[in-house]
């Protein structure tokens, strides 16, 4: 899911059996992990 400014992506991951929400910055078409919310 993209944020309103299209510069960040919010996604979920259930790795490790826990559901985590991540917000990642998009730079030049690449995803940079920002950390969990």
pLDDT digits (tens, 9 = 90+) for 1-37: 777 777 778 888 777 777 778 777 777 655 555 555 4
pLDDT at 31: 59
Q: What is the count of structural domains for the chain? A: 1
Query: Facing residues of 24 across strands?
Result: 9, 33
CA atoms within 13 A on the CB side of 3: 10
Q: Collapse the DSSP code of 17 into the 3-class scheme (helix H, G, I; strand E, B; otherwise coil) and give the result.
A: helix
Domain that holds residue 6: 1-37
Tokens 């991951």 correspond to 13
Which residues, at least 6 apart from 7, have a Cβ–Cβ distance to it below 8 Å? Answer: 25, 26
E runs forming strands in 1-37: 8-13, 20-27, 30-36
pLDDT at 7: 75
Does the predicted TM-score (pTM) go above 0.75?
Answer: no
pLDDT at 30: 59
């Amino acid at each position: 899911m993209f944020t309103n400014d299209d510069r960040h992506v919010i996604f979920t991951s259930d790795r490790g059996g826990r559901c985590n929400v991540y917000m990642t910055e998009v730079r030049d078409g690449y995803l940079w992990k920002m950390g969990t919310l």
